[in-house]
Amino acid sequence: MSENLNVFEIAQQQIKDACEKLKVKPAVYEILKQPMRVMEVAIPVKMDDGSVKVFSGYRSQHNLALGPAKGGLRFHPTITLDEAKALSMWMTFKSAVVGLPYGGGKGGVKCNPKELSEGEKERLSRGFIQAIAPIIGPEKDIPAPDVYTNAQVMAWMMDEYSKLRGYNTFGVITGKPLIVGGSIGRNEATARGCCFVIREAAAQLGINIKGARVVVQGFGNAGSIAARIMHDMGAKVVAVNDSRTGIYNHNGVDPYEVLEHKNKTGSVGGFPGTTEISNDELLALECDVLIPAAMENQITEENVDNVRAKIVGEAANGPTTPEADKVLYSKNILVLPDILASSGGVTVSYFEWVQNLQNFYWTEEEVNSRLEQKMVDAFNNVHRISKEYSVDMRSAAYMAGIKHLADAMEIRGWLG
């Protein structure tokens, strides 16, 4: 569904719309409509059977006006250059919206990690870092985990970069294991940040988060953690799904038990006391909060009329198309856009990077408290702009980010 939608063109249109609403100099859009640097690489990997397979990899650096590039690396069979470019643009705005000294970066390798052994995955990770090493570094571009990459992959990448430099360079990568410079709270950060923003939005709408009905699309890292945090806040998680199937229980499920079930069986399907539902059925459930935590282009023109949530909190990147966005806004459904709602990950990545540079590490309470403050401040700022300009929250988030970037580019003399 909707695979033909070009996410790069979507990102460009979102930036253009926000620039026009803010009435910034034309040069702002001209600079922001494309990445400053893109690298495409070929990575030869010796496979377990002795053969050599060549994988394609990408790294896009969108805008460096506020600081070094920052953003994830994914291992996925469908990643394209345009996708990497679009995701790097969204990362620029995520950082700007929460006031981080970063530009946006994104990339990955075209592969199916489920078909790779641990050894093959490690050799691919190290080969990719060797290939993009000239353009990354703690002062230039700091990658992080994304779809189908994790702390172990980041450890291999950090280690390979450190070997190339001849000394430990923990600050080149974030999302690492704690033992090699990772930050407490990083794994939960994207979901936790999203839940903080959902909580603030619910309060604005007069929805009591305790007892609120929550639906989570995608039960990977972000989705499963978001479900557990919302459950801990007192919300009722009534439905979740994964890439195989979905489950529904009107009275709610315990996401901790669902996760245990998924770890044992490989899917949420078959969880006791639930009804199996399709992805389309899940998106159409009546609920207070819908959390898309899977992939891009999930809420589209084809299914948006069926969405009956009061709040859509985007834990994934680009789950709602521009056409669907307009429909949701017309239906008075409050969309908390990805560049705001899912910016908790890059925020705690920033905290990890700061800790690496200082070689001084914070407690979990400090990390979560600082994250909450950043997310609440960002939500309040975006919500204020939304009311001031009478625009939806996505436009307001882009406007907040573009204002921040335009000010930096102006003072640096980039705008003429």
- 81-98 tens-digit pLDDT: 999 999 999 899 989 999
Tell me if 358 sits within 8 A of 79, measured CB to CB: no
CA distance 265 to 156: 28
Phi/psi of residue 136, each to 5°? -115, 170
Which domains are assigned to the chain?
35-168 (3.40.50.10860), 189-341 (3.40.50.720)
Torsion of Cα atoms, 300 then 304 then 305 then 307, to 10°: 160
Tell me if 137 sits within 8 A of 172, measured CB to CB: yes
CA distance 281 to 266: 21
Range list of β-strands (E), 111-150: 141-145
Tell me if 142 sits within 8 A of 174, measured CB to CB: yes
The pTM for the full model equals 0.90
> pLDDT band for position 1 (50/70/90)?
very low
Tell me if 203 sits within 8 A of 182, measured CB to CB: no
- For residue 292, the SS3 value is strand
pLDDT score at 5 = 59
Q: Which of 94, 106, 176, 374 is catalytic?
A: 106
**Stretch 176-187: mean pLDDT:** 95
Query: Catalytic residue at 114?
Result: no
> How many Å is the Cα radius of gyration of the chain?
20
> Which of 195, 175, 149 lies closest to 371, judged by CA?
195
> pLDDT band for position 14 (50/70/90)?
confident
Tell me if 69 sits within 8 A of 140, measured CB to CB: yes
Q: What stretch of H or E contains 385?
A: helix 364-389
Tell me if 239 sits within 8 A of 246, measured CB to CB: yes
pLDDT score at 295 = 85
